[in-house]
C-alpha cells in the first residue's frame, strides 16, 4: 500500500463512486512500471467538501494526472477539470468514453436528452485535446500505460510543490515570493508592503511575473527569485530617482504613449543616434505613473 504522506507521481482522477478501474486496471499497471500514485477514491457518499483541499494539494505534488471518464458515469466535475488541465498545459493522461442512452447509473437510466447533454461536454474535451495535441484514449489500460510513459519522461521536472519548497528557503526582507502554474511551467513574482512613491502611504506592491519552465532546475528557481529581487530594487530606484524634480527614469512609462508623444513633437525616430532629449519629463508621462502592481517596464 502506498505511503500517502509522500508526494506521488500520478493522481488517479476521474470517476469514483463504485467504480473499480483503479484497483482492477490502473494500479496494477502503475505498480508494475514502478510508478507511485495517489488514489483519492472513498466509499460512496464519504467525500466532503473539505476533502477538496487535500485533493488539490495531492494534485499539485504529482507529475501527471490520470483522468478516467468512462461511459458509466456522469462525470460532470471531471469533464470540467480535464478541460482546465488541457487548457492550462498541465501533464495529463485522459481516458474518455461517451455515455449511451439507456445506461444505468446508480439505479437511474440515462435518457437520450441527458446523454446528449453529457456527451456535449465530452465533445468539447476532445476538441480541446486535439487543439493542444493531447491524446485521448478509450481503453483504460492504454491510457494508464501512456500515463506511466509520461511520468518517466517528466521525472526530475519541476512541480508547483517543488517550486514552493524551494521558494520557502529564499528570503528577502519581509517580502514574499509567489508562484502560480501556467502553460508549460510556472510564474514567480515578489510582493511586499512598501511606501507608495506617489501617495506616501504603505500599500501592498507586486513585482512583474517571471516564467520558469518545468524543465528548469531548483537552482534556476533560486536564480529567478534573485532576478525578481534585483528588478524590484531597480524599480524602487527608478521611482525615487529624480532630476530637476522629475522621474526621468520612471519605470511605468507606456511605450506607445512615448512613441506618440515623440512623433507629435517631431522628435527623430532613432533617439539613440540623436542628441539626448528628455521625452520622459513631459507631464503626460508623470500622469501614467502608478504603483508596482502595474506591469513593470524593466
Domains of the chain, each with CATH number or no CATH: 10-154 (3.40.50), 160-288 (no CATH)
pLDDT of amino acid 44: 65
First to last CA, the chain: 51
Whether residue 146 is predicted with pLDDT greater than 70 in this model: the reply is: yes
Give the 3-state secondary structure of residue 233.
Answer: helix
pLDDT of amino acid 282: 42
pLDDT of amino acid 104: 86
Do residues 91 and 64 make contact, with C-beta atoms less than 8 angstroms apart?
yes
What nine digits make up the cell of 114? 441527458
pLDDT of amino acid 60: 82
CB atoms within 10 A of CB 104: 9
pLDDT of amino acid 269: 57
Query: Among 40-49, 77-86, 122-131, 274-283, where is mean pLDDT lowest?
Result: 274-283
User: pLDDT band at 47, cuts 50/70/90?
Assistant: low
Q: What is the mean pLDDT of the chain?
A: 84
User: pLDDT band at 270, cuts 50/70/90?
Assistant: low
The residue that leads in pLDDT, 270 or 215, is 215
pLDDT of amino acid 45: 62
pLDDT of amino acid 287: 44
pLDDT of amino acid 200: 81
Give the 3-state secondary structure of residue 72.
Answer: coil
CB atoms within 10 A of CB 61: 19
The residue that leads in pLDDT, 181 or 179, is 179
Whether residue 79 is predicted with pLDDT greater than 60 in this model: the reply is: yes
Query: Among 48-62, 78-92, 161-175, where is mean pLDDT lowest?
Result: 48-62
Per-residue pLDDT reduced to its tens digit, 196-249 = 777 888 889 999 999 999 889 999 999 999 999 999 999 989 988 999 999 888
User: Left if phi > 0, otherwise alpha if psi is -120 to 50, otherwise beta: which for 267?
Assistant: beta
Amino acid at each position: 500500500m502506498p505511503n500517502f504522506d509522500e508526494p506521488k507521481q500520478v493522481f488517479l482522477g476521474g470517476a469514483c463512486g463504485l467504480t473499480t478501474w483503479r484497483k482492477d486496471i490502473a494500479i496494477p499497471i502503475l505498480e508494475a512500471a514502478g510508478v507511485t500514485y495517489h488514489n483519492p477514491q472513498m466509499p460512496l457518499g464519504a467525500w466532503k467538501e473539505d476533502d477538496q483541499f487535500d485533493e488539490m494539494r495531492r494534485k499539485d505534488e504529482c507529475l501527471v494526472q490520470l483522468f478516467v471518464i468512462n461511459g458509466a458515469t456522469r462525470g460532470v466535475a471531471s469533464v470540467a477539470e480535464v478541460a482546465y488541465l488541457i487548457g492550462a498545459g498541465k501533464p495529463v493522461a485522459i481516458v474518455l468514453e461517451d455515455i449511451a442512452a439507456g445506461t444505468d447509473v446508480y439505479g437511474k437510466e440515462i435518457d437520450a436528452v441527458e446523454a446528449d447533454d453529457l456527451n456535449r461536454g465530452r465533445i468539447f474535451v476532445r476538441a480541446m485535446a486535439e487543439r493542444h495535441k493531447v491524446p485521448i484514449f478509450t481503453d483504460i489500460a492504454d491510457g494508464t500505460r501512456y500515463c506511466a510513459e509520461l511520468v518517466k519522461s517528466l521525472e526530475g521536472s519541476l512541480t508547483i510543490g517543488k517550486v514552493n519548497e524551494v521558494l520557502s528557503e529564499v528570503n528577502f526582507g519581509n517580502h514574499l515570493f509567489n508562484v502560480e502554474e501556467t502553460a508549460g511551467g510556472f510564474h514567480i513574482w515578489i510582493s511586499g508592503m512598501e511606501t507608495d512613491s506617489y501617495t506616501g502611504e504603505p500599500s501592498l506592491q507586486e513585482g512583474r511575473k517571471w516564467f520558469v519552465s518545468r524543465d528548469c532546475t531548483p537552482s534556476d528557481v533560486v536564480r529567478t527569485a534573485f532576478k525578481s529581487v534585483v528588478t524590484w530594487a531597480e524599480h524602487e530606484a527608478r521611482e525615487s530617482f529624480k532630476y530637476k524634480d522629475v522621474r526621468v527614469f520612471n519605470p511605468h512609462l507606456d511605450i506607445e504613449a512615448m512613441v506618440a508623444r515623440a512623433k507629435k513633437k517631431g522628435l527623430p525616430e532613432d533617439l539613440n543616434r540623436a542628441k539626448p532629449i528628455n521625452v520622459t519629463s513631459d507631464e503626460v508621462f508623470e500622469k501614467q505613473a502608478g504603483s508596482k502592481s502595474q506591469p513593470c517596464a524593466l
